[in-house]
Amino acid sequence: MATLLVIVDPSFNDLSSLKRAEQLAIDTGAQLHLFCCDYMHDISSYTSRKEAKSSTLTANKAQLEALATPLRQEGIAVTTEACWNSHWQEAAVHASSRVGAYLILKSSPMKAPGAKSESDVHLLRKASCAVLLVRDPAPWTHQRILAAITPDSDDSGHDLLNNQIITQAHRLGQATQSTVHCVTALEQQLQIVDMFILLADSHLPDETEVHSNEEHISQRFGVPPEQIHIHQGNPREVILQAVEDLRVDVLIIGTVARHGVKAALIGNTAEKLLSVIDTDILVVN
């Protein structure tokens, strides 16, 4: 059974990630691990740091259990964990590894225009599994998923990442009965077949059998040609426009590790999208 790790805000004011996790658990049969990380720099109201830690953990654990009770009554398997750590991102990543999480969910409300959520960026840098940033707790009603891929014949990492993105999209689409769409941006008008590494793909049809860029992507990733959106231009603008036009429930984007750090995300297309897209974003690494 897949495990979804849900990061719960220690203030317990924003439960968007929990609401989305509940929906996914019902759709997929996954179990939930509710994780809350808290820390106090000012412990002046306590007699010692030990007392502050014990009191905080006890209170948070009780609140997590209170959140878990109605979920268990729905038949969802739920475990809880309260943690004391000043670096919650690292603590969450370690917890996700301990429980073998398939996905991390975190509430990530929109910031002011142009503002960046450094906490989200740090989590994405460190996470060893996919991360779903939940913008709005409302149910996914449009039943459309958008996968953003990057054709690049010079980078095998992009080729692997594209496969992981599409795999996530199909799995999520099947679980939620949603339609999978695919978007890609070309800096200039080129044939997709020239940008993908196709020489080793003997199972793909001959070039004479496939005539359009959409058909090339369709054959490679199993997405119908009419659900593939290819546009020339800046990737950020192309993806943003596709999200708005299609009114998707979730956008799936990826990161590529460089020199041991997921630097392709930080400072590039994906990070720029985090501050402007108001729909859920699933980040694959």
Q: Residues 6 or more apart from 276 whose CB is under 8 A from it?
A: 113, 236, 240
The reply to whether CATH 3.50.50.60 applies to domain 3-134 is no
- DSSP-derived secondary structure letter, 51: H
Q: Which of 218, 270, 275, 279 is nearest to 243 (CA)?
A: 279
What b/e string do you get for 28-49 counting C-beta neighbours within 10 Å, with b at 16 or more? bebbbbbbbbbeeeeeeeeeee
Q: Which of 119, 58, 116 is nearest to 86 (CA)?
A: 119
225 neighbors 255 (Cβ within 8 angstroms): no
Parts of the chain belonging to CATH 3.40.50.620:
3-134, 144-284
Q: What is the pLDDT of residue 83?
A: 97
- Angstrom CA distances, 114 to 7, 123, 131, stand at 25, 19, 22
> Which residues in the chain land under pLDDT 70?
111-117, 152-157, 187-211, 256-268
pLDDT tens figures, 6-55: 999 999 999 999 999 999 999 999 999 999 999 999 999 999 999 999 99
pLDDT tens figures, 80-105: 999 999 999 999 999 999 999 999 99
Query: Between the CA atoms of 116, 119, 124 and 128, what dihedral angle is there, to the nearest 10 degrees?
Result: 180
What residue ranges in the chain does DSSP mark as E strands?
Answer: 3-7, 31-38, 78-84, 103-107, 130-134, 144-148, 179-186, 228-232, 250-254, 280-284
Return the CA Rg of the chain.
21
The tokens for 193 are 């077949």
Report the distance separating Cα 266 and Cα 99, nearest Å: 27
Q: What is the pLDDT of residue 200?
A: 46
Count of other CB atoms within 10 angstroms of residue 5 = 29
Tell me the fold of 144-284: Rossmann fold (3.40.50)
